[in-house]
Structure 1
Amino acid sequence: MKLFGKKEETCSCNNTSGNVERKIMVLGACCKKSQTSFENVKQAVKELNLNEEVSNIGDNAMIASYGVMQTPALVINKKVYTYGKLISIEDAKKYLYQSGMAHE
């Protein structure tokens, strides 16, 4: 559908990826930076041999409920660890250690 002559973009931004009570979430699903961050966090979880699922949340209301104004953001156990920048694999590991999810 076109509104005011603008092309409507299709995106899975309202995807909540199932259960939102998961412990590790990447907020932001539509931009390349958010998608890359999601993949990096999943890789960090794998490399740390954690048995946790990482969810990717694109629902704007849920993102706002965490006080996040810029995505991507990393939420672990309902605490925001970073937002507004690409989350590298090493950054994700650092935050997983800080949160107590991973142990050295």
Structure 2
Amino acid sequence: MIRPVLTELAIFLIPFVAYALFLIATRSGVLAKTSWPAHLVAKLVLGSLLLVVVSFLLLAHFRGAPPGSTYVPAHIENGKFVPGREIPGTEKPGAGK
């Protein structure tokens, strides 16, 4: 559970890091209060939230098993552990590997 949270946090921080790198490249004061006006921070926050929402949508669309597939839970076969897996809808559980 920690990996998805850290991934979304990293995606949220991308605009802030990009702006900080811009300040470093232009030799402006990265830690100076004048380099981070409220209207700019608000724009960075909105951009960050937009990136997070897009990442959630892409994750929901491209992650997971294909429609119609069947999940076969982890089990023991002949004394060996067989991890859980998804089987496409045309295949029967337990048939083939």
Larger radius of gyration: 2
Structure with higher RCO (Cα < 8 A, 6+ apart): 1
Give the structure with the higher percent helix: 2
TM over 0.5: no
Q: Normalised by the size of structure 2, how large is the TM-score? A: 0.29
